[in-house]
Chains A and B, each alone.
Chain A
């Protein structure tokens, strides 16, 4: 069929054709348009970094590095130290990872190694739905369901067993580092599972078969052969989850207690970088106050970017390795 056949008017197909003809004259047009869109993405990110940087010039010049080590956050006195927020962000994220990584990797092992493909796919589907639940809903459930239960069961239990540690001492009111950590565990586990599962499935079947043929049990072949093969990718999934936990705003804001302090006890209320931005940004009076909050945003941005980049490199290397062998 000749490409230059005249087009019939009216039907949807013919309209699509004539659109195609229009484009044909401007084959270049499509190229330029898509190139412009691709460049726009770069431009947006460049603008984002630039805006964050110039909007936080004030505290950068005034406080410099001591912004991150200052312990007092007193907007009325014009004194801005971010350490309590950095501390809160780090503590809650660490708490989340400590619990979420073993559970997530365990579940990923089950889904990748044990469950029959159909079951595995169905369960993975449900876990992906869990990852789609908005964070404000986790916050809602956190406030009304989780925090009362942590106060009633988990906190007393932890006090009974680990009460000798300073981590689990002092009064427990409900909103606390611990509550924020628990909510974060639930929020990041789905990400760890789906990435780890992919990474585990990228390990060649022959590796498992060889181990089993040598007399290893299923667990031994998983733990001694498959996991070491996939370890970089699993660590990568952990960092991906960490980046998510660091930047998580709503759910943490709703259960952490919003008190800027540094304590040894996880039972005490705290504050996080994202939470203070969410709470104080619209109320910030004065340039220094507002730009200090933007500076916090810049710190958070830098932190998550670094961790994300690192995670991606790790995951990529494992998948490449799996593809090669």
Chain B
């Protein structure tokens, strides 16, 4: 009797524990499936033309997505220029200056902004940029993604500045530095690796965003005529090509997907390597 119970408990133990292992394996394998499928379908369409040519009209084959790649780069550069400074400074405020109540409010609002669905950010950017300018534009796309970058910039800055030991601040201030000097010449350099990798992860996150660009940067089959004109971008191109009925466009969508994923994942891996190297140095 006792023995049976023990056996039953042991069986449940082994069964459930292996089930958790299976669940993990299942989830991790999805990543390899994604990589595998994109490589399989996308690599054939990657050519010199893909990176240098404009899209061809439907029916003709052999176009590229050069305008989308340049468009994405411009939008992301603008987004970084908007999102990182605001988020960085706000993060410094939270970590170094703020009192309790206001910091709580800022933190709460930041988390709130982080949870706003990307499509709603798109509507917002449409209302404050596209409508007054009366034009879909590269600029509007950059603003939308810039706003999306703010919350993570704030929280990573705060987190990494807080991880710098107080002794460093006290030391520099004991040597006669004032608070601002201590922050900008001692604390921030000490947190450099974390900050860099945090901002890289932030950029990688918005690089694949599609929904906020749909009605801000819109899309364009040609070179964008400037910051105030509609622009193509890689994620929107993938979307438009994938839902189109043309086989050639589907091939291009796969190739674009591969490029986008390679970009996003390589930024992610690099950032995490920088971060782990930083933490192992700190331990020493």
Contacts and interface: CB of A to CB of B under 8 A. Distances in A.
A162 B267 CA distance: 44
Contact of A250 (B92, B120, B239, B264): B239
Nearest to B127: A51
A16 B93 contact: no
B84 to A, nearest CB: 11
Q: How large is the interface on B (under 10, 10 to 19, 20 to 34, 35 or more residues)?
A: 35 or more
Given A31-B180, A110-B20, A37 B214 contact: no
A128 B118 CA distance: 20
A159 to B, nearest CB: 23
Contact of B111 (A26, A38, A55, A308): A308
Interface of B is mostly: helix
Interface stretch (B47-55, B56-64, B163-171, B252-260): B252-260
A164 interface: no
Interface in A98-156: 102-104, 106-107, 109-111, 113-115, 123, 125-130, 132-137, 139-141, 143-145
Interface in B15-70: 16-17, 19-24, 26-28, 30-31, 34, 37-38, 41
Given A27-B178, A127-B28, A37 B34 contact: no
A320 B98 CA distance: 22
B112 interface: yes
Nearest to B180: A30
B110 A134 contact: no
A230 interface: no
B181 A34 contact: no
A134 B93 contact: no
Interface stretch (B73-81, B190-198, B200-208, B221-229): B200-208
Q: How large is the interface on A (under 10, 10 to 19, 20 to 34, 35 or more residues)?
A: 35 or more
A281 B264 contact: no
Interface stretch (A60-68, A166-174, A203-211, A218-226): A218-226
Given A37-B89, A141-B38, 10 more contacts: A20-B177, A34-B92, A47-B128, A103-B26, A107-B20, A127-B28, A133-B264, A139-B242, A247-B118, A282-B214
16 contacts: A26-B180, A37-B90, A42-B106, A45-B112, A109-B20, A114-B21, A123-B24, A132-B265, A217-B13, A219-B13, A220-B9, A247-B117, A254-B242, A278-B119, A278-B211, A308-B112
